Amino acid sequence: MMFTAAMTLLLLLAGLLQSLFPPLVWLGQAKAPVLMALATYYAIAHGRVAMLCVAVVAGLFQDSLSSLPMGFSTVCLSALGLAIQSQRGMWFYETTGTAVMLGFAGGALMTLAIYLLLLSGQEYAPAPAGWVAAKAFGAGFLGALITPAVWMLAAWMERRLDLRGKAEGKTLYGGA
């Protein structure tokens, strides 16, 4: 129960923060991918069920906050979460370095994936390739900055609520 409440609170906070962060005008209007950072945290620190729950809800949040068709972000976040979980313990560990790397890769790849989905659905006029590249880089850059902070905050909250032992995570971010 407390785990669900904490997850809901983190999702609300991430959605609000993402809507408030100003975009990087010089890098394709890229916005800080706070919801993506939270999804990667649940992918690295918790089981598949929790990760998919967060991916579905975070995706709905992201699409509702923008004009993206419903489901685009859910697909991307779920795929990202599954990819991270498949390599967890082999390539990805709950460390700051991994957070930076996943934040960068996740932000950039999600931007490119959403752009391709937008183009495939004819919802969006094709943008200049340079702009898309700048936007992907900007999202990756902001993801690399924001993801360690989101991981730290989420881990701190779960430790304070004594949820880490009960959850499926195997490692502790930021020390026990």
Partner 1 sequence: MRERGYLILLALGVAFLIVVNLPATVAHPLRAIVREGLAPYQAWAARALNHADRVVESVGDFDRLRTECDRLRLENESLRTRVRNGASLERRNVELSRLLGRAREAPGHALACEVIARDDGGGWWQSARLDGGVSSGLGNGQAVITADGLVGRTRDVSDGACDVLLLSDRGSRVAVRFVRSGVPGILTGGGLSPAGEPALGVLAPLPPLTIEYADRGADLRTNDLVVTSGLGGVFPPDLPVGMVRRIEFGPSRLYRRVELTPCADLTRLRYVLVLPPYNAARAAAAEPPREEAEP
Q: Confirm or reject binding of residue 28 to partner 1 (CB under 8 A).
A: yes
Q: Confirm or reject binding of residue 82 to partner 1 (CB under 8 A).
A: no
Task: Determine which residue in the list 2, 5, 48, 89 makes contact with partner 1, applying CB under 8 A.
Answer: 48
Task: Determine which residue in the list 7, 42, 43, 61 makes contact with partner 1, applying CB under 8 A.
Answer: 61
Using the contact rule CB under 8 A, the part of the chain among 28-36, 85-93, 98-106, 144-152 near partner 1 is: 28-36
Q: Confirm or reject binding of residue 66 to partner 1 (CB under 8 A).
A: yes
Among the residues of 48-128, which ranges form H helices? 48-65, 72-86, 96-120
Q: Confirm or reject binding of residue 134 to partner 1 (CB under 8 A).
A: yes
Q: Confirm or reject binding of residue 25 to partner 1 (CB under 8 A).
A: yes
Q: CB of 29 within 8 A of CB of 135?
A: yes
Q: Ramachandran region of residue 109, left (φ > 0), alpha (ψ -120 to 50) or beta?
A: alpha
Task: Determine which residue in the list 5, 127, 156, 160 makes contact with partner 1, applying CB under 8 A.
Answer: 127
By three-state DSSP, how is residue 128 classified?
Answer: coil
* 153 CB burial (10 A radius; 0-12, 13-18, 19+): middle
Separation of alpha carbons 93 and 87, rounded Å: 9
Binding site for partner 1 (CB under 8 A): 12, 15-16, 18-20, 22-23, 25-31, 48-49, 52-53, 56, 59-71, 73-75, 78, 114, 118, 124-125, 127-131, 133-135, 139
